[in-house]
Amino acid sequence: MAFERNILIVAILITLGTLASQATSRTLYEASIAAKHEQWMEEFGRVYQDSAEKERRFHIFKNNVEFVEKFNSEGKKTYKLSINQFSDMTHEEFLRHHTGYKKPTESTSSADASFTHENLSLTDDVPPSIDWREQDAVTPVKDQGDCGCCWAFSAVAAVEGITKIKTGQLISLSEQQLVDCDTSNSGCQGGDMAKAFAYIQQNGGIASEENYPYQGSDGTCDTNLANEAAAKITNYARVTPNSETDLLKAVSVQPVSVAIAASQAFQLYSGGLFTDDSCGTELNHAVTIIGYGTTEDGTPYWLIKNSWAERWGDNGYMKILRNADAPEGVCGLAMQASYPIM
């Protein structure tokens, strides 16, 4: 009996020791995440209104850190994730504040008389790769901030590109004018690039960024500034939906606006060839395809310019798989593509 009692006591001590060790490990882990959060707050200048808000944001931050660490440790993907300026936001909050694409209804699209479908089958001699940055047809990466107007940044980047290609002048153009003055869209509450192109065409052009600077919030249209056109377009066109072949032809000629489904992995992307097959086709964000090519191992990709500043992704850019198995492309990027005509 004494022997069995001793065995039981030893077992209890071992269990208590293990539990104590686990508790210590958890405490140390929480402390390391808390330190990382403090460092992150300093790096990105984040200040919370009170301790309750800080505690809530810490737990969101911790979840995102664990998501990133688990994803990267598996080592099964061709891209990496990292902590960035969006890491204390839930994915739902992130989508609400930093995306903003709204697909137009069919009735809206069909009623727009100026909207055309250009015959891209006439485009020949498509080069094997192109990067419009090398042709100086891409302005530096911009930041939409907390305003859901990705549609304006996508459209403006496409107009900046065709303006450079046709006139030889690279001019940074005004997203704020679209946010304030394009009543067919909804400013920071979302919009569509084709409607933005229609506004620019009907308005007789778009002002420069310098004359009508970005404010990151809805404002009142300054018609005087809006009429000082720094660039004009004559029309706009839509790429055949769900055709990466036609999308390739279009991008070989100029930068193209596309809608995309931004997943949590998209939110925290930091580099590599993006191949997320779980993002679906619920289009919620807009970007601009500014090129394409193949990786060193021969995998085809699209090169996109985003509007989340240079701290996101690969200095503000992303390489995303081209010629996906699904006709709509990775994250639906071939579903709603359009571009301005000059």
The catalytic residue positions are 150, 285, 306
Burial class (CB in 10 A: 0-12, 13-18, 19+), 230: buried
**Helix, coil or strand: residue 334:** coil
Per the document, the length of the chain is: 342
Nearest to 97 by CA among 108, 88, 109, 107: 88
Residue 14: count other Cβ atoms within 10 Å of its Cβ: 10
> Following CA atoms 130, 131, 134, 140 in sequence, which dihedral angle do they give, to the nearest 10 degrees?
160
Residue 98's H or E segment, with its range, is helix 91-98
DSSP letter (8 states) at residue 339: E
Contact by Cβ (8 Å): 230, 205:
yes
Written as one string, the DSSP assignment of 18-79 is: HHHHHHHHHHHHHHHHHHHHHHHHHHHT---SSHHHHHHHHHHHHHHHHHHHHHHHH--SSE
Nearest to 114 by CA among 184, 209, 161: 184
Q: What are the φ and ψ backbone dihedral angles of 304, each rounded to 5 degrees? A: -115, 145
Nearest to 288 by CA among 324, 318, 323, 244: 318
Q: Which residues contact 60 (CB under 8 A, 6 or more apart)?
A: 88, 89, 90
Strand partners, 81: 269
